[in-house]
A and B are shown apart, each in its own frame.
Chain A
Amino acid sequence: MILIIETQNLSKWYGNVLGLNDVTIQIESGITGILGPNGAGKSTFLKLITGQIKPNIGKVKIKGEKIRNNYSLFSIIGFCPEQDSFYEEMTGWEFITSLLKLHHFSSTEIKARAQDALEIVELINDKDRVIKSYSRGMRQRLKFAQAIAHEPEIIILDEPLNGMDPLGRRKIIKLIKSYEREGRTIIVSSHVLPEIEAMTKRIILIHQGKIFAQGNIHYIRDLIDTHPHIISIKCSNPRELASKFIHEEYVLKVHFSSTRDSLLIETNNRDKFFSLLPSLFLESNIEVKEITSPDDNLQAVFDYLVGK
């Protein structure tokens, strides 16, 4: 593996708000997932490594060179920003070709590359429509296209799957994986664990501006699996249902609601609990109205991991 990005004590704050705190990491070629809840500092980190903002403390190096105001590096970097902003009066084709022009390709090359990029993201049939008429998913794909059109070695993607339909997501994930096979470096951020999981095993967890953990995804999965989950069940007879699983070791607590139509169960083995649940319903002939998991999100996992 080759070292591509290196940060040293990277810190950034916006006034009194801490954006990123003392981040020292090394990123090698391949796919690296940056995972964290909203506001964790993922975008700040990506803006710092692309030189969009200046660190208050620390250094960033891309292939051994400093990034800020080193515009020559952008011939090998492609960046897909998080914000949904465009030159709205341009068509998709004009947007991609105009940005490719800034890479100083010949006009034939610009056309060929724009054609390829728009075909990859399946926008070729809509290339002559103005961007302001694009749907959210199309805009997201267009943003992705501008990041890959010049075939960069390093691709940095800030929440690239936001607003995409499931099919579009699968295609982009497949594409990102194909870039890894070509030996490129891809850094992709998300607040959705399964999205990152589908792309890579190497992840960096960011929480409250700090690198909370980094390494193999299995480590994170293990942490998550031992995290006590709260499950809410709305049914016709909550007390009878509770009596059926109260003796199970992995059920830690049961609370009944004041309305008497639901119960909250705390378990440290969500998978086992869910595998048991259907048979209990059938045996007891209990009518289920709703099953929800109020803390089944990354924020809850992070809160648990940091011991809140």
Chain B
Amino acid sequence: MIISKRFLIIWWENKMNEKIKKGLPSFLKSTKDVFSFFFFLGKKARKTKVFYLVSFFPVIMVLVIKFVQIFSGLPHVQGIFIFSNHIMVLYLQFLILILALFFGTSVCSEEVEGKTLTYLTTRPVSKSAIILGKYAAYTLLIVLMTGIGLILTFLILNVNNLLDFSLYKILFKYTIVLILGLICYTSFFTFIGTFLKKSILFGLVFSFGWENVIQYFPGSTQRFAIVHYLKSLLPFPSGGRFSFLLFRLEPTSPGVAVVMLFLITGVFLGLACLFFSQKEYILED
């Protein structure tokens, strides 16, 4: 009896040692596993459904514009012109900021506030993989939200010119810029969420204070706003009601702007991983 118990213990010990020695899966595999966990969970979340509705607000707006255009008999304005103004006002200055803010800060804060962090940090995955995997999942979710709304907006506004393929080139360019914006802003808000308790409040001040003011400063100061690099990439037509949004824009060259956006993303994601690994999160009762 004693021998069989001892045998059982030795067998179990060997099994466990093998388990550790087997080595950990690559960092990428861990990140991918975290990504699929949160992409799946994110799709089901109530928050996602609410923000899907928010992201459809521009679609409703263009539907109204189109109806007014058709039935009012007012002079016809080019669809692509309304579309680019729409991007500047609604998407660039509001929607992508709101989406990135709420999803980016929640990468860390919803785990702490919901006290579910323990389930993640007691798994054989590094804390950096948790941050990066969840960041990637949430970024993809908001890219899809924005993308669907954007394409619908484009199709509604250009319903009469759907065979004009040069317009699709413009759509493609705008989509890329918005995706870059979402990637960059989400990384910044992910970082904020790892160390600030009131990250949403700070994010709102940053989004609608800093970003909306600094971009209009002359000289190099405007380069301290992320939106400056996004606007530098946009093929915005000159003139029009919303041309004030490009007031004093001294664009950075597209190559540098893209590099800067990726650099900002990398730096903030790196900082987010560092903070998340080192900081102690007390799950309060």
From B19-27, B99-107, B217-225, B256-264, the one touching the partner chain is B19-27
Judged by a CB distance under 8 angstroms, whether B93 is at the interface is: no
Closest to A84 in B: B115
Interface of A: prevailing SS: loop
Closest to A100 in B: B123
Q: Give complex CA distance A74, B127 in Å.
A: 12
Judged by a CB distance under 8 angstroms, whether B53 is at the interface is: no
Judged by a CB distance under 8 angstroms, whether B16 is at the interface is: yes
Q: What distance in Å separates the Cβ of A1 from its nearest Cβ neighbour in chain B?
A: 10
Q: What distance in Å separates the Cβ of B5 from its nearest Cβ neighbour in chain A?
A: 7
Q: What distance in Å separates the Cβ of B118 from its nearest Cβ neighbour in chain A?
A: 5
Q: Give complex CA distance A94, B13 in Å.
A: 30
Judged by a CB distance under 8 angstroms, whether B44 is at the interface is: yes
The answer to whether A72 touches B37 (Cβ under 8 A) is no
Q: Mark A91-102, 1 if CB is under 8 A from B, else 0.
A: 000100011011
Judged by a CB distance under 8 angstroms, whether A276 is at the interface is: no
* CB contact between B12 and one of A85, A86, A103, A182 (< 8 Å): that residue: A182
Given A89-B46, A102-B125, A181-B8 contact (CB < 8 Å):
yes
Given A53-B280, A104-B25, A183-B13, A74-B124 contact (CB < 8 Å):
yes
Q: Mark B98-135, 1 if CB is under 8 A from A, else 0.
A: 00000000000000001110111111111100000000
Judged by a CB distance under 8 angstroms, whether B187 is at the interface is: no
Interface residues on B, range: 35 or more
Judged by a CB distance under 8 angstroms, whether A159 is at the interface is: no
The answer to whether B114 touches A71 (Cβ under 8 A) is no
Closest to B110 in A: A87
Chain A residues lying within 8 Å of B65, measured Cβ to Cβ, are none
The answer to whether B20 touches A102 (Cβ under 8 A) is no
Residues of A in contact with B (beta carbons under 8 Å apart)? 2, 14, 29, 50-54, 69, 71-79, 81, 83, 85-87, 89-90, 94, 98-99, 101-104, 146, 153, 181-184
* CB contact between B123 and one of A83, A90, A102, A181 (< 8 Å): that residue: A102
Q: What distance in Å separates the Cβ of B222 from its nearest Cβ neighbour in chain A?
A: 40
Q: What distance in Å separates the Cβ of B212 from its nearest Cβ neighbour in chain A?
A: 34
The answer to whether B20 touches A76 (Cβ under 8 A) is yes
The answer to whether B8 touches A99 (Cβ under 8 A) is no
